[in-house]
Amino acid sequence: MATAQRQSLLKLDNKATKRANMLLEQNVAKQRRDKVSLNAFALLFSEIIQYSQNRVLGIQDLESKLSEIGYRVGLRVFELAMWREKTVHRETRVLNTLVFINTVVWRTLFDKQADSLERSTESEDEYMITDNEPSILKFISVPKEMSSFSPGAFISGVVEAIVECCQCPARVTSHVVPADGMPLRTVILLKFDKEVMGREKQLEAGK
């Protein structure tokens, strides 16, 4: 390898090491930075939706794209939450996992608990987390011709990542179910995989 090239690679390597050390020295046990403006998030999120929309054909594709972006967020949120919650151990049971999401995760991300956590009356492997007014969706208005679109797909991606990290993989979708004065009331629907439900039964029986 030519000397000049080797030197430039070496320089790059030094720089990378420096950055890595800087990150390692940061304490993550406490949140270092508290808030940014909701508008900053809303503007960014709006661009994310528009960018994704230009690259997909239908609403379902758009939702799965948003969910993919949320998924990567969820992985990181989970890691950090685990670091910070002193009393929490990694949940493996479905209900505990759901409660963890409903309380800890929601509080971290949205400064409040989710409004409800319910089990579907029709099938026992389905659960619903409801947020009456998801703050991050506040400025979004869904056009009529896209009425089936749920911008909460981003949140369902976050949730999907977290249940997967808890070894309770599920298919997670989001649905807008408006109520009085709450046009963006969002229901996150989780349908747990067969293995998970099988394991639940075994654990229950073994108690």
Partner 1 sequence: MAKQYRSIGEEVWKNKVEKVNAELFIFTYGSLVVQLIKDYEDYHSVNKQLDKLGYNIGVRLIDDILSRTNLEKCKDMRETAEVISKIGFRMFLNIAPSVSAWSADSKEFSLILDDNPLNDFCELPPRAVQGGLWYSNVLCGVVRGALEMVGLLVKVEFVRDVVRGDEVSEIRVRLEKVLDEEVPVGDD
**Looking at beta carbons only, is 6 or 18 nearer to partner 1?**
18
Task: Give me 54's structure tokens.
Answer: 């230009």
User: What is the Cα–Cα distance from 91 to 94, expressed in whole angstroms?
Assistant: 8
The minimum distance between CB 132 and partner 1, in angstroms, equals 17
Which part of the chain contacts partner 1 (CB under 8 A), choosing from 19-27, 116-124, 173-181, 188-196? 19-27
**Looking at beta carbons only, is 108 or 132 nearer to partner 1?**
108
Sheet strand arrangement including 186-192: 116-119, 126-131, 186-192, 170-176
- Chain centroid to Cα 38, Å, comes to 17
The values of phi and psi at residue 92, to 5°, are -125, -20
User: What is the Cα–Cα distance from 152 to 90, expressed in whole angstroms?
Assistant: 26
Residues counted in the chain: 207
- Residue ranges in 28-87 that form contacts with partner 1 under rule CB under 8 A: 31-41, 43-45, 47-48, 50-51, 55, 68-70, 72-73, 76-77, 80
Q: Which residues contact 55 (CB under 8 A, 6 or more apart)?
A: 65
> What binding mask, one character per residue, do residues 171-200 give for partner 1 by CB under 8 A, x or -?
------------------------------
The minimum distance between CB 124 and partner 1, in angstroms, equals 32
The reply on whether position 140 binds partner 1 by CB under 8 A is no
Q: Which has the closest alpha carbon to 127: 68, 180, 196?
A: 196
Interface with partner 1 (CB under 8 A), residue from 56, 64, 82, 110: 110
Task: Give me 17's structure tokens.
Answer: 């090491």
User: Interface with partner 1 by CB under 8 A: which residues?
Assistant: 12-16, 18-20, 22-23, 31-41, 43-45, 47-48, 50-51, 55, 68-70, 72-73, 76-77, 80, 108-111, 135-136, 154
